[in-house]
Structure 1
């Protein structure tokens, strides 16, 4: 077990805990001009899928990846928010998010996290990248937990 990868399971644990009960408020903005809780969950699900499908294969190969532009981030975030409010149920969102996180974690557990790769000409390794993903999780976990869910 790798403690850095294991930290990513905290997001999955959170999703499992909130799965029970009624969550009508999950589709309401958390505050004026902000996303809903459902959109936040979908946001992380979309980023997990992007990491696993679009980034990880090149990282494993020690390849060179382009950076992510602000426009790319904005587009993915809009897609995530649209999906969250497309009429899909919260349970489908949670199940999808758990599936994506499980797939990512299971794959990462099999990898050498010292493997290096290049992003925008700068050398990185999987360990530092996973740490960044965990910090992103924490930001949203704190945000959601402060709201009582």
Structure 2
């Protein structure tokens, strides 16, 4: 994953994965992946809401060369709220929102010149760092869900 396009293609893999969950039976969609853990629905909601948060507060500001509006988040509270949000959505709606949020991020990221990817905005975050962190975050959750689906097959 070296060029801008390779980075964006890797980051886009979440879309295909999320769409594949449409075929997941409801009991697996809503069942915890392990005791005391989230369900696939909770994980999808979690990633979607983080995508929206970073789009609005980091990625768009970086693309537009304006100050980021990131604020210290209580991650546990944000994640609890994300899981609660997922409970209010149908599987179809949540997956659609997830795909839309990631596509919006990809569109904005595509429009940032590759030469700016390594630049640290406000000495805090670069596009490269953002993509690497969330690529790894996606892979972590995708592996959890895949393991759960395999174990419950």
Q: 1:75 aligns with which of 59, 77, 82?
A: 77
Matched residue SS, 1:2: helix
1:4-19 superposed matches below 5 A: 4-19=7-22
TM-score (norm 1): 0.84
Give me the whole-angstrom Cα distance separating, in 2, the residues matched to 1:67 and 1:104: 16
Q: Which runs of 4+ in 1 moved over 6 A?
A: none
TM-score (norm 2): 0.82
1:1-149 superposed matches below 5 A: 2-20=5-23, 22-62=25-65, 65=68, 69=72, 71=74, 73-86=75-88, 88-115=89-116, 116-118=119-121, 122-148=123-149
Give me the whole-angstrom Cα distance separating, in 2, the residues matched to 1:124 and 1:114: 15
Aligned-residue Cα RMSD (Å) equals 2.2
Give me the whole-angstrom Cα distance separating, in 2, the residues matched to 1:67 and 1:102: 21
Give me the whole-angstrom Cα distance separating, in 1, the residues matched to 2:34 and 2:47: 19
Which one has a larger percent helix, Structure 1 or Structure 2? 2
Give me the whole-angstrom Cα distance separating, in 2, the residues matched to 1:32 and 1:131: 29
Q: Which runs of 5+ in 1 are unaligned?
A: none
Q: Which runs of 5+ in 2 are unaligned?
A: none
8 Å Cα contact 2:34/2:148 also seen in 1: no
Matched residue SS, 2:129: helix
Measured after TM superposition, the shift of residue 67 of structure 1 is 6.3
